[in-house]
Structure 1
Amino acid sequence: MLNAYAILSGIGASICEFRRLDLLSSGLNRKLGADLVQWYASAGIFSQASEESGTPSELPTSLRILWHYTFISLTVDLNTLEVAVGREGRNSIVPDVCEYVRSWISTLSSKRSLFHALYLQNLVVSTNLGSSTAIHTARILFSAALCWYCYILYLPSTIIATEMPVNSTPDEIMEYLTQLPELRLLRTESGSYSPASNLWHKTMSSFQKILVASPAEVKENTLCIIESALRGLGTSGISRRFADIIYIFISGEINS
């Protein structure tokens, strides 16, 4: 699996570099998304039982989590989201930063980010990671919480975009999501023999409810669960520090 990890990390590094150079065009975005789908499909998710074990091979949970995170990083600039919640102080939350977040929220692409955030949240919660917890898991969970918090924090004052309005109906949003290549892949996986096959149905059901939920209900079903999951990880002070920050998100001490 080291080769699979290296390839996935390479795609993630390319996303970061293209974003840093402001070269992440829509065409390149689609190409990198296709690379991620191809990686997932070829990394052993649907492989048949091996002769030795007689059980289906499974992609390690740590890699599945990293795959969802890489899709999030493809669909939103996480660095800007961190600035938008005060990482560098209130003076750094300039109009351009606020406009970026509001523009992101107003697109259907933000729902793609949030779906992956919810999926990896459910994946972590449903898996007994134990001592196998990868060091990147805490950071990834924090990034998922960051997406949800920005969505909650900036949604009330969202400027409606002309291309994909924030007030798209839940049915329109779900239709958009189910046509995405990676979600079609996950849906196919849900019909296969896999211990994680119920994740698709659970996440789809939860996501539809969250779309019409109040901010308090969104926090309860995302931020609160992620905070609890972080406190249960065996990654020492890193996970506790991220959990403490998310607690501040939940308590509402940060305001835009």
Structure 2
Amino acid sequence: MGSPSSSFVQIAYGMAQWARRDGMFTTGQEQPSNFFQSHEELDTAWNSWARLEEKKRAAMGLYIHDAQLASLFHHDPNLRHGAIQLSAAASNELFSAPSAAQWADLMRTHPPQSYLQEHIHFSQPQDLQQHPLPIEIGCAHSRLSCYVTLHGIEAAVAESGRTYHVLPNQQIFDKFRDALTCWYHAYGKTSSPNSPDIFCLMILWHKIFMSLLVDFDSLERAIGRDGSVQAAFAQEYVSTWASSIEAKRCIMHASLINDHLAAMRVDAEPAIHVPGCTFSAAIAWYCYTKFGVADNHAPDCNENLDFPETKALGIRSGQQLFELCGATRPKPTVMGAGPLRGLTDMLNKLGHWDTSKRFAGILGLLLHGDTEGHLLDYS
């Protein structure tokens, strides 16, 4: 019998194959004519457009599902996210139009169709570093499209094939850092404070940044996912990482995930990626406090902790890291790390996802000192 991981991957692969045969991954959207001879023609055009839009949104759901499985089980995605041939989804207002006449009125002012691939920064031929091009902000009307493009960056990170047992290739790191920063300037920064972020996009944004700074597969092996022998092998890498500036940068993002979770409404339904992102943030904090040099969190004269992405957020990361670690020089203990406790508590409260309860159980074992055996079980 295969592992739970292989079973999920096989199911996802089968779904992707079915969707390819049905042509779902090449669904564009023709702009209907604004002139209709009769009500029957208008109704026909509306129904045809709606069927294509539903098909496109189903394909987007498969891209999200594929990226989530790749992140959860640490394997390459099945779909080619960087070459996505879907056009951006329509705005919710247009998609929810109650009549053909209202749909036609909204279509006259709706932005022209564009492909999602065009909205990912590293797909552009110009190298403008951390400045988005006008084409990149073209799907701001659709939060679902913003969600899929962010997953496209996440999948590209997984496809990059980088190993984290050596220092990251700076050119590759800069490529994805710029893409994430441009995404934030195009979409994350422009979201309305009065409009709830139903897709929890900034939580995913921080998690993708973290995946550029640490190998989560190694962190999970170090805490006992594959048994004590594999844990001993992984702990060499994790101990080196936990004493690095990359670790400080990583737990900065982990703490910001905790802040976003704390700001969520009590009655909010978290997006599907939130439990996994919360667990990853907690594991990063645990490994940072458990391994490495005890007094390594405090900045010294050779360290610059004002990271570009936190500058874009208006955060002084050096000061915040100092405060997060208790304003004392030694690292906090596992039980003394406030964000770690907060992330663990949050997993017990995250909606009805059974996965979050399982993740919370794993963290409970870690916090109470049981790090032997096979801790992680996604089945």
TM value normalised by structure 2: 0.53
Q: Determine the C-alpha separation between the residues in 1 that align with 2:199 and 2:328.
A: 26
The amino acid of 2:216's aligned partner reads: L
Conserved 8 A contact 2:335-2:367:
no
Conserved 8 A contact 1:230-1:239:
yes
Shift in Å, 1:20: 5.6
1:177 corresponds to: 305
Conserved 8 A contact 2:224-2:231:
yes
Residue 246 of structure 1 aligns to a residue whose secondary structure is helix
Alignment of 1:68-147 (within 5 A): 68-95=206-233, 97-128=234-265, 130-147=267-284
User: Aligned to 2:171, which of 12, 27, 52?
Assistant: 27
Instruction: Name the structure where helix makes up a greater proportion of residues.
Output: 1
State yes or no: 1:4 paired with 2:131: no
Residue 134 of structure 1 aligns to a residue whose secondary structure is coil
Q: Determine the C-alpha separation between the residues in 2 that align with 1:27 and 1:241.
A: 37
Shift in Å, 1:236: 3.2
State yes or no: 1:42 paired with 2:186: yes
Conserved 8 A contact 1:62-1:137:
yes
- Runs of 4+ deviating beyond 4 Å: 20-24, 55-61, 200-205
Conserved 8 A contact 1:69-1:116:
yes
Distance 1:127 1:39, change over 3 A: same
* Deviation string, structure 1 residues 208-241 (Cα, Å, up to 9, x no partner): 536745305533x022211211111113321111
The amino acid of 2:245's aligned partner reads: L
Shift in Å, 1:205: 6.6
Identical counterparts, % of pairs: 30
* Paired positions, count: 228
Distance 1:57 1:41, change over 3 A: farther
**Structure 2 unpaired stretches of 5+:** 1-142, 374-379
* Deviation string, structure 1 residues 121-177 (Cα, Å, up to 9, x no partner): 111012215343111111111001100111122135x8xxxxxxx73633659x723
Shift in Å, 1:109: 1.1
Q: How big is the alpha-carbon RMSD for the aligned residues of Structure 1 and Structure 2?
A: 3.2
**Structure 1 unpaired stretches of 5+:** 50-54, 159-165, 191-199
User: Aligned to 1:251, which of 357, 368, 375?
Assistant: 368
1:193 corresponds to: none
Q: Determine the C-alpha separation between the residues in 2 that align with 1:142 and 1:44.
A: 22
Shift in Å, 1:26: 1.6
1:230 corresponds to: 347
Q: Determine the C-alpha separation between the residues in 2 that align with 1:40 and 1:184.
A: 12
Q: Determine the C-alpha separation between the residues in 2 that align with 1:71 and 1:184.
A: 14
Shift in Å, 1:59: 5.4
Residue 371 of structure 2 aligns to a residue whose secondary structure is coil
Alignment of 1:149-160 (within 5 A): 149-155=286-292
Residue 183 of structure 1 aligns to a residue whose secondary structure is helix
Distance 1:130 1:210, change over 3 A: farther
Residue 138 of structure 1 aligns to a residue whose secondary structure is helix
2:99 corresponds to: none
The amino acid of 1:185's aligned partner reads: A
In terms of Rg, which structure is larger? 2
Shift in Å, 1:206: 3.8
TM value normalised by structure 1: 0.77
